[in-house]
Structure 1
Amino acid sequence: MKNFLLTCSAAALALGMTTAAQATKSDDTLNVAFTKELENVDSYFNSSREGVVLQRAIWDGLIYADPETGEYKGNLATSWEWIDDTTLELKLREGVTFHNGEEFDADDVVYTVNYVADEKNGVKTQRNVNWMKSAEKVDKYTVRIMLKAPFPAAIEYLAGPVSIYPNEYYAEAGPSGMGLKPVGTGPYKVLSVEPGKHFVLEKNENYHDSPKGQPEIGKVDIRTIPDVNTQMAELFSGSLDLIWQVPADQSEKLAAMGRFTVANESTMRIGYLTLDAAGRTGEDNPFTDVRVRRAVAHAINSEALVSALLKGKSRVIKTACFPSQFGCSQDVVSYEYDPEKAKALLAEAGYPDGFETDYYAYRDREYAEAIANYLTAVGIRVNFNMLQYSALRELRMKGGTPISFQTWGSYSINDASAITSQFFKFGSLDDSRDEEVRDWLDIADSSTDPEVRKENYAKALAKIADQAYWVPMFSYNTNYVFTDEVSYTPTPDEVLRFHTMSWN
């Protein structure tokens, strides 16, 4: 504990920090750290959790899902009804203005939907928007959204990643302009953006009567600080009020000091290995052989990873989805930790002495290295490459990777379509390209019969597990650490909500 304190103190001195008092009601500024660099603040052109956090602060959706109850409530829309299986009509809230003074009405919804639904505009996560065909204006405060096919999860998506943008501003600014000077209707407006590094938000004093609730803290100052030790040093010095995604061992030390509030909450994010079963990196890569993929599954001790590294509310995961998501069947084959069986499978596949492969990760180096050690122990010798999230994503989209450690939080959408269908329907991040799996998912995604949906998700998930296209390992938890002046109750959807925070 003494060494830990000395490390933090040394880091603080090296940064030239003072021991100024923590932020209080007097300056009304919440100082927060992000670990990962956000590629673009425009919520349609990033897929990181930091982007989701800013999305919920800056923009609103048509519908709001209560994070505690899951109940759907009107946000920018006040009511909605299905005209038929592929047409949703929504009545819009009157009297709402965007941060730049533009009036919100049907034109904004129509423009946003038609823009993001058009694949050539390049929305980063197509699965979030490609179920929509178009939108049309009925009158100033009534719109209809037309779907390409029945999509039972539509309301869940409209309550999550589908934000509404000001039509006049976005037509002029585009994604790059929106990324530098974001404009929404949300509880916080943006004062400044230093791309990837620094974001300053200010309370929207004219926020509408949203179910999100009214923001209390006046200003939120967010800096990207990749190193967690530096974050902790700044927490000690008073330069930061809140840090999150803190590793379990560090959060335990902080909790023991009694100086900060440490809150642990479960999340829908899962950690998994994706293997190049489709041969995207070359047909001679070992992972095209199911025996090699099953060997990888047997090589990983997920129980040990959870108990030794993740801790908290994390748990072992065996499916290509999060258990609470609709359609996430748990009736799949599981692979017990058995390194000897892994070696035997490798020998059967023609690799009695193992083989060498490139291995990639973008976060949680400690977890990634532990996984690499398990692989090495059975003869899979890895060349470990740690990349930025955006760089690894682009690499995977363009040509794939032999094996990489990935995570996915489903944009906090409680439906298997947000993860299983995202990665197994021949998109740019599909490493299996299994037509049978794709066809089952197509049925599951579009059927209006819940039982048919469950049946086809179950078939897809069973084959994904049997063929070991993915090696799911664990769910994440998130540790939030904040000063005693901050009042905040985290939710299990991994969304940091500034508008629910206040000062003690």
Structure 2
Amino acid sequence: NTAREPFNNKDYRKALNYAIDKQSIVDAVYLGKASVANTIVNPTVFGSDQKVGKIDYNPEVAKELLEKSGVKNKIIKIMSNDNPVRLQAAQIIQANLKEVGINAEIETVEWGTYLQMTAQGDFDVFIGGWVAGTSDSDIVLFPLLHSSYKGGAGNRANFENSEYDRLVELGRKSTESSERIEAYSKAQEILAEENPLVPLYYKNENMGLNKRIKNFIPVANTIHNYAAIEVQ
């Protein structure tokens, strides 16, 4: 929540990113069936730039950034709904933050309360997820972080950056693929510097398929077309 102290401090936010061992979450929670995220835009999505945003787990750098931030002895709350996968991730994050001197409490709420409190800005940090249903960066970068979408509309981090807004607006309006890719790349560079969200992981969509099923083609956004399926 960038509208609340100490998360309005850029160095503090960046320290959180360095402090979290995302690979441990992938290994322990997903048993390796996921990959560490560099940016909030999944690599299968148009406009994702995997060359920007990569922050490796480094608790020593996290400690340096915390010192630079000037924030002392702040107890923070990690909000999660009662999804067991998110709760496991929260526990790992809690342990990671403890290692760099941040005391974190986990607050578990039911789904309706989770949506209401995050929409109203009544939280410190929360664990969430997003599906890029259109396979285009616009469906990620605009609703999650454009300043006009603050609160329940999607920008629950309450992030505001005029240059970021300009870039994602350009990506939405332009009909030139190269111009859109450049705009989205620069927008992701801003996020890598500002850290309004900490990208954790891209989870795999694992599917079991009966050998009697023919002509099923999986789609990356999980909105599958079942019309051509045959059962033998």
TM-score class, shorter: 0.7 to 0.9
Q: Deviations for 1:234-290, whole angstroms, at most 9, x for unmatched residues?
A: xxxxxxxxxxxxxxxxxxxxxxxxxxxxxxxxxxxxxxxxxx22x1xx4xx111111
Distance 1:380 1:462, change over 3 A: same
Q: How far is the alpha carbon of 1:314 from its aligned partner?
A: 1.7
Q: Distance in 2 between matches of 1:400 and 1:435?
A: 24
Q: Distance in 1 between matches of 2:91 and 2:183?
A: 36
- Name which of 44, 57, 67 aligns with 1:337: 57
Q: How far is the alpha carbon of 1:451 from its aligned partner?
A: 1.5
Q: RMSD across aligned C-alpha pairs, in angstroms? A: 2.5
Distance 1:312 1:334, change over 3 A: closer
- Name which of 88, 102, 105 aligns with 1:380: 102
- Name which of 451, 456, 459 aligns with 2:178: 451
For 2:222, the equivalent position in structure 1 comes to 494
Q: How far is the alpha carbon of 1:400 from its aligned partner?
A: 4.8
Q: Distance in 2 between matches of 1:389 and 1:328?
A: 29
For the pair 1:356 / 2:75, whether they are aligned, the reply is yes
The letter for the 2-side match of 1:425 is H
Q: How far is the alpha carbon of 1:368 from its aligned partner?
A: 2.2
The letter for the 2-side match of 1:359 is I
Percent identity of paired positions between Structure 1 and Structure 2: 21
Q: Distance in 1 between matches of 2:208 and 2:97?
A: 33
The letter for the 2-side match of 1:346 is L
Bigger share in strand: 1
Q: Distance in 2 between matches of 1:342 and 1:392?
A: 28
Distance 1:490 1:304, change over 3 A: farther
For the pair 1:414 / 2:135, whether they are aligned, the reply is yes
Matches within 5 A, 1:40-59: none
Matches within 5 A, 1:62-81: none
Q: Distance in 1 between matches of 2:96 and 2:48?
A: 27
* Mapped contact 1:343–1:378 kept (Cα < 8 A): yes
Structure 2 residue matching 1:287: 3-state secondary structure: coil
* Mapped contact 2:26–2:33 kept (Cα < 8 A): no
* Mapped contact 1:328–1:457 kept (Cα < 8 A): yes
* Higher RCO, Cα 8 Å, sep 6+: 2
Distance 1:400 1:487, change over 3 A: farther
* Mapped contact 1:312–1:477 kept (Cα < 8 A): no
Uncovered stretches (5+) of structure 1, i.e. residues with no partner = 1-275
Q: How far is the alpha carbon of 1:461 from its aligned partner?
A: 0.7
For the pair 1:317 / 2:37, whether they are aligned, the reply is yes
* Mapped contact 1:292–1:349 kept (Cα < 8 A): yes
Structure 2 residue matching 1:371: 3-state secondary structure: helix
Distance 1:380 1:498, change over 3 A: farther
Q: Distance in 2 between matches of 1:461 and 1:380?
A: 27
The normalised TM-score by structure 1 is 0.40
The normalised TM-score by structure 2 is 0.83
For the pair 1:294 / 2:14, whether they are aligned, the reply is yes
Structure 2 residue matching 1:408: 3-state secondary structure: coil
Q: Deviations for 1:417-471, whole angstroms, at most 9, x for unmatched residues?
A: 0111111112123221112111111011101111211111111110011111111
For 1:164, the equivalent position in structure 2 comes to none
Q: Distance in 1 between matches of 2:204 and 2:55?
A: 23
Matches within 5 A, 1:143-158: none
The letter for the 2-side match of 1:440 is L
- Name which of 426, 441, 445 aligns with 2:168: 441
Q: Deviations for 1:151-184, whole angstroms, at most 9, x for unmatched residues?
A: xxxxxxxxxxxxxxxxxxxxxxxxxxxxxxxxxx
Q: How many residues align?
A: 221
Please tell me whether Structure 1 or Structure 2 has the larger radius of gyration of its CA atoms: 1
Bigger share in helix: 2
For 1:255, the equivalent position in structure 2 comes to none
For 2:88, the equivalent position in structure 1 comes to 366
Structure 1 residue matching 2:198: 3-state secondary structure: strand
Distance 1:358 1:481, change over 3 A: same
Q: Distance in 2 between matches of 1:381 and 1:305?
A: 19
For 1:392, the equivalent position in structure 2 comes to 114
Q: How far is the alpha carbon of 1:473 from its aligned partner?
A: 1.6
Structure 2 residue matching 1:396: 3-state secondary structure: helix
The letter for the 1-side match of 2:120 is K
* Mapped contact 1:314–1:475 kept (Cα < 8 A): yes
Q: Deviations for 1:57-81, whole angstroms, at most 9, x for unmatched residues?
A: xxxxxxxxxxxxxxxxxxxxxxxxx
